[in-house]
Structure 1
Amino acid sequence: MGITHIRLPKNFDLDERLERYAGAIERDAGAYKGRWAEACCPLAVDGGGALRRYGSVHLDLGCGKGAFVVACAERDPEGLYIGMDAEPVCIAYAAQTVAERDLPNAVIVPLGADALARVFAEGELAGITLNFPTPHPKRHHARKRLVHVDRLLAYRPLLAPGATVTLRTDSQPLWEYAKGQFDAAGYRALWTSADVGREHPGFPETEYERRLTARGAAVYGICAALAPAPSPDRVQAGRDAEQSLMAYLPDDLFSLDYVPLGMEAAVENFRNRERKGKARIPGAAG
Structure 2
Amino acid sequence: MGLTHIRTPKNFDLDERIERYADAIERNAPAYAGRWAEACWQLDTDAACGTGFTRVHLDLGCGKGTFIAQCARRDPDTLFIGMDVEPICIAYAAQRIVEEGLRNAVVVPLGAQALPRIFGTGELAAITLNFPTPHPKRHHAAKRLVNVDHLLLYRPLLAASGTVTLRTDSLPLWEYAKGQFDAAGYDTQWVSADVRHEHPGFPETEYEQRLTERGAAVYGICATPGQEPDETRIEAGRAAEQSLMCYLPDDLSSLDYVPLGMEAAVENFRNRERKGKARIPGSRS
For the aligned pair, the TM-score class normalised by the smaller chain equals over 0.9
Q: Are 1:31 and 2:31 matched, yes or no?
A: yes
What amino acid sits opposite 1:146 in the alignment?
L
Residue 166 of structure 2 aligns to a residue in which SS?
A: strand
Q: 4+ runs of 1 displaced by more than 6 Å?
A: none
Instruction: Give 1:53 deviation, angstroms.
Output: 1.6
In 2 relative to 1, CA 282–23 (structure 1 residues): closer, same or farther, beyond 3 Å?
Answer: farther
Return the offset for 1:255. 1.7
Q: 1:4–1:162: structure 2 CA closer, same or farther, 3 Å change rule?
A: closer
Q: Report the Cα distance in structure 2 between the residues aligned to 1:238 and 1:182, rounded to whole angstroms.
A: 9
Instruction: Report the AA paired with residue 21 of structure 1.
Output: Y
| Cα deviation, residue 218, structure 1 | 0.3
Rounded to whole Å, the distance in 2 between the matches of 1:262 and 1:34 is: 37
Q: Which runs of 5+ in 2 are unaligned?
A: 44-48
Matched residue of 1:221: which SS?
strand
Cα distance in 1 for partners of 2:248, 2:173 equals 9
How far 1:10 sits from its partner (Å)?
2.9
Offset, 1:8: 5.0
Distance 1:4 1:222 in 2: 22
Provide closer, same or farther for how the CA distance between residues 142 and 203 of structure 1 changes in structure 2, counting only shifts above 3 A: same
RMSD: 1.7
The answer on whether the counterparts of 2:80 and 2:104 sit within 8 Å (CA) in structure 1 is yes
For residue 64 of structure 2, what is the aligned residue in structure 1? 65
Aligned to 2:119: 120
Counterpart for residue 253 of structure 1: 252
User: Is 2:175 the partner of 1:159?
Assistant: no
State the distance in 1 between where 2:5 and 2:90 align.
Answer: 14
| Distance change >3 Å, CA 182–CA 282, structure 1 → 2 | farther
Q: Is the 8 A contact 2:2 2:131 kept in 1?
A: no
Task: Give the conservation status (yes or no) of the 8 Å contact 2:119–2:157.
Answer: yes
Q: 1:3 to 1:138 in 2, by over 3 A?
A: closer
Deviations 1:161-189 (A, max 9, x none): 11100000000000000000000000001
Verify the 8 A CA contact 1:42 1:51 in the aligned structure 2: no
- 79-88 vs 31-40, which deviates more? 31-40
Residue in 2 that maps onto 1:272: 271
- Aligned-partner Cα distance in 2 for 1:35–1:56: 11
Aligned 8 A contact 2:2 2:260 in 1: no
Sequence identity percentage: 75
Supply the distance in 2 between the matched residues of 1:39 and 1:195 (Cα, whole angstroms): 37
Q: Does 1:14 align with 2:10?
A: no
One-letter code aligned to 2:224? A
Unaligned runs of 5+ in 1: 44-49
**How many residues were matched structurally?**
278
| Structure 2 residue matching 1:254: 3-state secondary structure | helix
- Cα deviation, residue 263, structure 1: 0.4
Is 1:175 matched up with 2:182? no
Amino acid at match of 1:226: P
Q: Secondary structure at the match of 2:34?
A: coil
2:90 is matched with 91
**Distance apart, 1:226 and its partner CA:** 1.1
Where 1:225 maps in the other structure, the secondary structure is strand
Shift of 1:21: 0.5
The separation in 2 between residues aligned to 1:187 and 1:2, in whole angstroms, is: 24
| Structure 1 Cα separation of the partners of residues 154 and 245 of structure 2 | 26
When structure 1 is superposed on structure 2, of 50-59 and 7-16 the one drifting more is 7-16
Which residue matches 1:139?
A: 138
1:211/1:139 Cα in 2 relative to 1: closer, same or farther (>3 Å)? Answer: same
Letter in 2 for 1:36: W
Asked if the contact 2:167–2:219 (Cα under 8 Å) also holds between the matched residues in 1, the reply is: yes
What does residue 193 of structure 2 align with? 194
Return the alpha-carbon distance in structure 1 between the equivalents of residues 282 and 14 of structure 2: 40
